[in-house]
Structure 1
Amino acid sequence: MADDSPEAPARALERAGKLKKQQQQEDVAVDVAALEEEDDRDDPQRVWARVQSNLEELTHLAQKRREGATRSRASIIEELAADLSSYYEFLRELVDLFLTIFSPHECVEFLDASVKPRPVVARCNTLKARRKDVAAALVKRGCTVEPLAAWSKVGLKINRSDVPVGATPEYLAGWYMLQSAASQCPVLALDPKPGERILELCAAPGGKSSYCAQLMKNQGVLIANDLKRDRHKATTANLHRLGVKIAAVVCQDGRAFPGVMGGFDRVLLDAPCTGLGVCARDPSIQGSRTVEDVKKIAHLQKELLLAAIDSCDAKKAGVVVYSTCSVSVEENEAVVQYALDKRSVKIVPSEALDFARPGFLRCGSRRFHPSMANARRFYPHTHNMDGFFVCKLRVLGKKDKKRKSRD
């Protein structure tokens, strides 16, 4: 029976209000529960537990399938990549990129090592002091040091320091340069000799150029080029502090450098890159670099590498060393393969770097020249060094391959 009393509309409004309030409370309860579930899922301990569980499942995937497991490898990798992106705070697309380079287990090791700091390394400047004298001076100032590694005659690893090692009297006097272990390796591959003409195409802030001068015993000609003029102050200051007397600092676009001067015996190109191997030094890389950045920088790297080759003296079978502080194949093997296709060059071994891993001959659907095994890769999780790539090329001729074939 209908309620026709005067109070009926008021009671109806009251009931509607109560129902609306009850619905809002239920919605809030659902939202809170969903947020709690999401927070629980993103809890670092639970994320890490899932990572370990997925790695274990991948290890025994064939056995688990025989036991009736229904999860595919692709679905496991999908969840693993999402969890690694969350746990290590890398962009998801970077984690996907790393999973094309490393196995799932090694990818976790790489990411874990990439967010941890590398050792502080001093490269002793033999133009001014011997390594044992530098070590003795640093020990007197409260540092704990040890030789870097068997492959380095000038490196010192500084394990502990009571003073700023970049401001000691010995540092200011040019006895040593703070330079990571990995960044010394391209110069060892280049192996510059006294009396030669050497070019570093992207030289700022001068660490590798000064090491070249050191190995050249301050005899010969060294051109330290860099496009960015505001970085030349640091290059000039370092070369002066370290006692380098054979260097000229030049500001040119590296891509056009063969039109400026050429005929070099050896050229070092430590190319601009995404820095995916040095995330410990610049954590912003983890959340800012994208796969699109990798593709864009690879185009510039190819142009620079061709310019480096064209700057060599082909008659003397000049040497070019290409290096990056990235681990991506697109910036490394793919760039070198492009140079192999465009110029008369060959990859030669870098005997001083035999301790490193070889370059890739394949990655996914891509295939590279068999000599790419002579390139060298460095990783934080295997060498306790920055992620780096080094490849040594010998120039056989100067002309473009396609043009040469038409001639």
Structure 2
Amino acid sequence: MGRRAKNKQGAPEPLQIVPADFTVKKRKATDQKDARPQKKLKDAGKAKPSKTAKPAKKETKPVLTSGGSDDEDAWENVQDEADDLLDDEFEGLDDDEPLRGPVQEFDWSDAEDDEIPIPKTKKSKQLEKPTKIVPTGSDDSSVEEDSDEDDEITAANMEARSRALDAQALLDAAADAEELQGIAAEEEDDADEYAMDEDDEEAADEDRFHLPTLEERAAEKSQGGPDVHIIQRRLRECARILNKFTKRAEPGRSRSEYTDQMISDICSYYGYNEFLAEKLFQLFPVDEAVEFFESNEVPRPVTIRTNTLRTRRRDLAQALVNRGVNLEPIGKWTNVGLQVFESSVPIGATPEYLAGHYMLQAASSFLPVIALSPEPNERVLDMASAPGGKTTHIAALLQNTGVVFANDANKARTKSLTANIHRLGCKNVVVCSYDGREFPRVMGGFDRVLLDAPCSGTGVISKDPSVKANKSDRDFSLLSHLQKQLILCAIDSVSPESKTGGYLVYSTCSVTVDENEAVVDYALRKRPNVKLVSTGLEFGREGFNSYRGKTFHPSLKLTRRFYPHVHNMDGFYVAKFKVERRTKQAPEEDISADGMVVVVEEGEEDAKKLTFEADEDKPYLEEAKRRQMKAKGLRVGPRSKPAPAA
């Protein structure tokens, strides 16, 4: 047991003999304790030891003498007294404030001039504004430029300043273009390297894609067809190989084999007949073709058109939002369209719908009327108007002025047409039911004509999936023949003398070339007094100038195509014609019985020559009929004329 522990066991007895020097030293320590809080500078963070306390500590050291029990007891008492002094010295620290600032070491030296070093704070570099952020080659001329900017702009230096700014802009544009080209080149190199690595990995893969042979395909059909996952993988692999056929194709396999396999898989996966699948597949690159077929499986967004004869789009949107309809404007290209995302009420049975404030209409149906752009007080003909979406749109743009002739060959469909006209408050519409091919004889002289021709519906497959299986080559031949007749009759119905109009808009909800570019090119050849003009639509793809060996008029690039996988609307085609007046006149003059001079224009004779020639398409129709009969297994008689060249 230690000496201190032995002395502290039990209650200590009072000291009878206490050395005088110890008593004095304890009193001095008490005085030091009382004075210490005044000398301690905590806020300044500079703790300097007191000079008076140091001698007191030195005096507390006893003089040790050699051996003896009295000396040992005295040493123990000295130790106890020293502990008491330390306890008394630090007794008040519990009541003081907590120490602030960094922990510092006390210097117990006797030098009076010793000072505690104060840490120096460094100035932040952000406080100093750099003279140049990015050094450039124009640093030398910066002073001159600053001086020029400080000068006032006068008529003398204005031209020089303008030229300098133009030159600088050209240099910047050239530098930007060069940088973009460098980035594009680097991306191409990276893509090629990645493709090479990918090809190497795929070549090393044991489960490499194998194109089935004819025997394997026949075996698959006999077993009920391949699995859906196998078809998906084959479509993906065939598209990848056809994009870079020379690098990725199997040795000894032709491109047509991959194409036939892909078309066969499209028929199996999406439900098309082989004829229509091949016809649509040839319109697009390989990857885009798959996107087109996939987009036809997804319904198009629900859109409505505001009837400006009854309300404004802002008021209609607010009213429908209050009924729990989530909607927003379709886009900047139309100021009357709204896209509906979800609705807690039937969108076709709201009070606003029944009051004629809007019309349920596809976004693609806005396009022909926007291209037609009718003006007030004009006479307009809609040759195929049912169920009335485009007709009522024209009436709204005319602001119920002028006259709109809404014609439809199907008399049963005019009932819904009439109902929509009354519901939307169109007062300038005349409903009639004639064959469109009779219209030049029934009535003519229109300022503008809209022909939304009957078509195969290959652009609206998402609405009518039956198109996938019930369209054949004969259907396209008959429809193309009808469209050619209608477009010539529509051109003849337009008045070339119209001061504000003289336009024809031809549109279809089809994406095939037979019903679009081929018909428009035919009209340009048969009517030399018409030309194609811009549709005024800011988006959409240009029409084909050539397709699979057929070359069309160069102006067909002014027409517009719309696809479901690109524009998120039904497939559509829009072309706009300007009908001009014939300038040539016949030199001969005839005098009538009453003495009036009758001038016979040469254009009237040309019109008789340029009428629709049914004999021109007759061999094609007969050939299509023969193929249809052969497909049904019927006996076909001999051809009266040689088969036309395809």
How does the TM-score come out when normalised to structure 2? 0.56
1:38 aligns with 2:210: no
Runs of 4+ off more than 4 Å: 34-37, 398-406
Q: Which residue of 1 aligns with 2:441?
A: 259
Letter in 1 for 2:298: K
Q: Using the TM superposition, give the Cα deviation of residue 354 of structure 1 relative to its aligned residue in structure 2, in angstroms.
A: 2.1
Q: Which moved more, 1:368-377 or 1:94-103?
A: 94-103
Among 513, 528, 531, the residue aligned to 1:346 = 531
Among 480, 485, 488, the residue aligned to 1:306 = 488
Instruction: Count residues in correspondence.
Output: 370
Q: Which runs of 5+ in 1 are unaligned?
A: 1-33
Q: Using the TM superposition, give the Cα deviation of residue 215 of structure 1 relative to its aligned residue in structure 2, in angstroms.
A: 0.7
1:164 aligns with 2:352: no
More strand by share: 1
Q: Which has the larger radius of gyration?
A: 2
Q: Which residue of 2 aligns with 1:4?
A: none
Q: Which residue of 2 aligns with 1:365?
A: 549
Name the CA distance, whole Å, in 2 between partners of 1:289 and 1:405.
34
SS in 2 for 1:322: strand
Q: Using the TM superposition, give the Cα deviation of residue 150 of structure 1 relative to its aligned residue in structure 2, in angstroms.
A: 1.0
Residues 30-79 of structure 1 show CA distances to partners (whole Å, capped at 9, x for unaligned) of xxxx679734x5211111110001011112212135xx622111111010
SS in 2 for 1:184: helix
1:69 aligns with 2:251: yes
1:199 aligns with 2:199: no
Q: Using the TM superposition, give the Cα deviation of residue 393 of structure 1 relative to its aligned residue in structure 2, in angstroms.
A: 0.4
1:288 aligns with 2:470: yes
Q: Which residue of 1 aligns with 2:102?
A: none
Q: Which residue of 2 aligns with 1:20?
A: none
Letter in 1 for 2:431: V
Kept in 1: contact 2:333–2:538 (CA 8 A): no
Name the CA distance, whole Å, in 2 between partners of 1:358 and 1:37.
44
Among 81, 94, 105, the residue aligned to 2:287 = 105
Name the CA distance, whole Å, in 2 between partners of 1:35 and 1:56.
23
Q: Percent same amino acid among aligned pairs?
A: 47
Q: Which residue of 2 aligns with 1:23?
A: none
Counterparts in 2 of 1:51 and 1:405: CA distance versus 1, 3 Å: same
Letter in 1 for 2:531: K
Kept in 1: contact 2:408–2:432 (CA 8 A): yes
Q: Which residue of 1 aligns with 2:453?
A: 271
Q: Which residue of 2 aligns with 1:22?
A: none
Name the CA distance, whole Å, in 2 between partners of 1:404 and 1:248.
30
Q: Which runs of 5+ in 2 are unaligned?
A: 1-218, 583-602, 611-646
Among 346, 361, 365, the residue aligned to 1:183 = 365
Q: Which residue of 2 aligns with 1:390?
A: 574
Q: Which residue of 2 aligns with 1:239?
A: 421
Kept in 1: contact 2:220–2:226 (CA 8 A): no
SS in 1 for 2:580: strand
Name the CA distance, whole Å, in 1 between partners of 2:607 and 2:353.
51
Q: Which residue of 2 aligns with 1:374?
A: 558
Name the CA distance, whole Å, in 2 between partners of 1:271 and 1:233.
20
Name the CA distance, whole Å, in 2 between partners of 1:116 and 1:171.
26
Among 269, 276, 279, the residue aligned to 1:94 = 276
Kept in 1: contact 2:374–2:397 (CA 8 A): yes
Name the CA distance, whole Å, in 2 between partners of 1:79 and 1:329.
24
Name the CA distance, whole Å, in 2 between partners of 1:404 and 1:254.
19
Residues 331-354 of structure 1 show CA distances to partners (whole Å, capped at 9, x for unaligned) of 000001110011121010012x12
Name the CA distance, whole Å, in 2 between partners of 1:320 and 1:37.
53
Q: Which moved more, 1:94-103 or 1:197-206?
A: 94-103
Q: Which residue of 2 aligns with 1:333?
A: 517
Name the CA distance, whole Å, in 1 between partners of 2:604 and 2:290.
42
Counterparts in 2 of 1:36 and 1:94: CA distance versus 1, 3 Å: closer
SS in 1 for 2:573: strand
Kept in 2: contact 1:121–1:157 (CA 8 A): yes
Q: Which residue of 2 aligns with 1:5?
A: none
Residues 157-199 of structure 1 show CA distances to partners (whole Å, capped at 9, x for unaligned) of 0011111111110001000000000011000000001100000
Counterparts in 2 of 1:293 and 1:124: CA distance versus 1, 3 Å: same
Q: Using the TM superposition, give the Cα deviation of residue 84 of structure 1 relative to its aligned residue in structure 2, in angstroms.
A: 0.7
1:118 aligns with 2:300: yes
Computed over aligned residues only, the root mean square deviation of the Cα atoms, in angstroms, reads: 1.9
Name the CA distance, whole Å, in 1 between partners of 2:404 and 2:606.
32
Counterparts in 2 of 1:373 and 1:313: CA distance versus 1, 3 Å: same
Kept in 2: contact 1:90–1:287 (CA 8 A): yes
Residues 269-327 of structure 1 show CA distances to partners (whole Å, capped at 9, x for unaligned) of 00000100001111111111122211110100111111111111012261000000000
Q: Using the TM superposition, give the Cα deviation of residue 105 of structure 1 relative to its aligned residue in structure 2, in angstroms.
A: 1.2
Name the CA distance, whole Å, in 1 between partners of 2:393 and 2:605.
34
Residues 6-48 of structure 1 show CA distances to partners (whole Å, capped at 9, x for unaligned) of xxxxxxxxxxxxxxxxxxxxxxxxxxxx679734x52111111
Kept in 2: contact 1:341–1:401 (CA 8 A): no
Counterparts in 2 of 1:405 and 1:287: CA distance versus 1, 3 Å: closer
Q: Which has the higher contact order (CA 8 A, sep 6+)?
A: 1
